[in-house]
């Protein structure tokens, strides 16, 4: 996975309500504030969501988001398992993977939570990963980003400055960094103490969330403890994150004290998925495909792994990257014999068949998955791909139009829709789908151009549809200049 430095550093400095940022006070000293309502802070939920969406689009534009349907689906399910144990179950959240091996996670307004793949690789159990995610969820439910506005120095919202720096930095990192530094310099000191209080509160609430969702409440303390031990081994070469965001003995002690006496509620959930997703990330993140194959093979031969099926799955994915389809297919067939309804295995099986030009077999594999999971977005994603390869454009378009009515979809689905519309010779539909695709990957100028082409191509379309396209162009323009219209 490509390195992603500029946006990563900006997010870490301001927005990254990190898992390891400041020392804790004792749990019994922590007072829960009366948050009041949204109006108290002058920021509406709609404004928060728009802010979060804008930041995500800017991160995606810089190559920082890993748009993998299986990983995203796993993170969403894990996140909502935590959220369902709170009184914020109706609030919308979205979890996404950041293309960075640095250990980090952050919360954005509107319920958006980013998790670096390096953090997932550092965890040894789903409970540990859940502890980090619960911490970030608590930042959002306690509306820490909104409270940060109130603790500012009157120089404007922190998030607006960060987004501006990102946009300026899109074509010139030096300009973006200068804008960011100028805005941030006068704010940082006044924010430090306020952020410490946020971190204390997020740990406190996150640990309770873990227990309520059925996870080990001690997992936060155990994860922090391991990070502390590992950080001591680096010496002068300590990674940037651990230097600027220390995990302290106080924080570990307070997390332990908070978890003591909390008993996790009984919940039946699939523990295998965690190991499969970690193996998938290892296979995707390793740029040297031969090295990935060698590493998976060594671990399988030596028996040095946590979960054999996950190791075999990762090995199969590494083989697919190296076009060793027959060998990968054999491994996946064995895995499916033991676990025939596992989506990860079905998807990999269909992918290897499609890559090996066994298009009809691939179509059949994904059709079977659709029968098992007709509303699952992961299955729909790969099923649509197989439909497009089989030139079944009407079915692909209809399925995409149905799933795209729901929020927070992967941008690639709009690219698929453009392919389906192209196969049906619908030029207006092609451009409209490409407009949405470009908007969601952070390219508003190209989105405007494509939507204008869509309007020019829509000779027989009615007034209502063109009015909707005009409205979307106005949305795209506001991404470039807040408050702008298409007039």
Please confirm, yes or no, whether 419 is among the known catalytic residues.
Answer: no
How far is the C-alpha of 330 from the C-alpha of 182, rounded, in Å?
57
How far is the C-alpha of 286 from the C-alpha of 262, rounded, in Å?
39
**Catalytic residue of the set 68, 126, 128, 136:** 136
How far is the C-alpha of 114 from the C-alpha of 76, rounded, in Å?
11
- The two tokens of residue 36 are 């009041």
Structural contact between residues 329 and 356, judged by C-beta atoms closer than 8 angstroms? yes
Q: β-strands 105-108, 94-98: how paired?
A: unpaired
How far is the C-alpha of 131 from the C-alpha of 220, rounded, in Å?
5
Other Cβ atoms closer than 10 A to 91: 14
Structural contact between residues 113 and 105, judged by C-beta atoms closer than 8 angstroms? yes
Other Cβ atoms closer than 10 A to 70: 18
**465: CB partners within 8 A, 6+ apart:** 458
**Catalytic residue of the set 73, 199, 203, 353:** 203
Please confirm, yes or no, whether 136 is among the known catalytic residues.
Answer: yes
Could you give the C-alpha distances from 204 to 14, 251, 273, in angstroms and in order?
22, 11, 27
- The two tokens of residue 231 are 């950080």
3-state secondary structure of 115: strand
Q: Starting from the edge strand earliest in sequence, which strands make up the sheet with 94-98, in order?
A: 65-66, 94-98, 112-116, 105-108
End-to-end alpha-carbon separation of the chain, Å?
41
Structural contact between residues 251 and 35, judged by C-beta atoms closer than 8 angstroms? no
**330: CB partners within 8 A, 6+ apart:** none
Name the maximum alpha-carbon separation found in the chain.
Answer: 69
- The two tokens of residue 389 are 């390869």
Is the sign of the CA dihedral 108, 112, 117, 118 positive or negative? positive
Other Cβ atoms closer than 10 A to 80: 15
Q: Which residues are catalytically annotated?
A: 136, 203
């Amino acid at each position: 996975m490509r390195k992603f430095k500029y946006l990563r550093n900006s997010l870490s400095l301001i927005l990254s309500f990190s898992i390891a940022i400041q020392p804790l006070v004792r749990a019994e000293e922590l007072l829960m504030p009366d948050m009041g309502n949204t109006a108290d802070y002058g920021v509406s939920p709609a404004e928060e969501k728009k802010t979060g969406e804008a930041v995500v689009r800017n991160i995606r534009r810089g190559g920082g988001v890993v748009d993998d349907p299986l990983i995203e689906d796993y993170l969403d399910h894990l996140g909502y398992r935590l959220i369902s144990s709170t009184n914020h179950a109706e609030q919308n959240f979205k979890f996404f993977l950041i293309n960075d091996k640095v250990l980090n996670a952050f919360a954005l307004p509107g319920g958006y939570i980013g998790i670096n793949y390096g953090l997932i690789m550092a965890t040894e159990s789903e409970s540990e990963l859940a502890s980090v995610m619960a911490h970030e969820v608590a930042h959002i439910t306690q509306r820490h980003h909104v409270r940060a506005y109130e603790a500012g120095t009157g120089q404007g919202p922190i998030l607006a400055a960060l987004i501006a720096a990102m946009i300026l930095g899109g074509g010139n990192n030096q300009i973006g960094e200068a804008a960011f530094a100028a805005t941030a310099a006068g704010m940082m000191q006044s924010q430090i103490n306020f952020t410490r209080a946020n971190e204390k509160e997020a740990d406190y609430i996150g640990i309770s969330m873990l227990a309520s969702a059925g996870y080990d409440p001690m997992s936060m303390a155990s994860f922090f403890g391991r990070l502390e031990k590992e950080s001591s081994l680096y010496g002068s070469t300590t990674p940037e994150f651990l230097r600027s965001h220390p995990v302290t003995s106080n924080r570990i002690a307070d997390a332990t004290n908070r978890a003591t006496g909390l008993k996790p509620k009984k919940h039946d959930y699939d523990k295998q998925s965690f190991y499969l997703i970690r193996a998938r990330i290892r296979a995707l993140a390793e740029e040297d495909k031969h090295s990935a194959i060698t590493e998976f093979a060594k671990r399988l031969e030596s028996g040095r792994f946590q979960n054999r099926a996950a190791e075999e799955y990762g090995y199969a994915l590494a083989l697919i990257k190296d076009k060793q389809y027959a060998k990968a297919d054999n491994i996946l067939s064995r895995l499916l014999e033991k676990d025939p309804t596992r989506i990860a295995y079905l998807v990999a099986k269909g992918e290897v068949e499609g890559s090996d030009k066994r298009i009809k077999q691939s179509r059949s594999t994904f059709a079977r998955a659709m029968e098992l999971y007709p509303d699952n977005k992961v299955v729909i994603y790969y099923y649509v791909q197989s439909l497009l390869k089989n030139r079944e454009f009407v079915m692909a378009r209809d399925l995409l139009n149905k799933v795209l009515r729901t929020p927070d979809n992967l941008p690639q689905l709009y690219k698929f829709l453009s392919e389906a519309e192209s196969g049906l010779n619908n030029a207006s539909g092609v451009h409209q789908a490409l407009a949405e695709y470009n908007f969601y990957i952070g390219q508003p100028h190209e989105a405007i151009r494509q939507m204008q082409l869509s309007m020019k191509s829509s000779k027989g379309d009615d007034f209502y549809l063109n009015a909707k396209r005009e409205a979307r162009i106005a949305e795209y323009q506001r991404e470039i200049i807040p408050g702008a219209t298409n007039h």
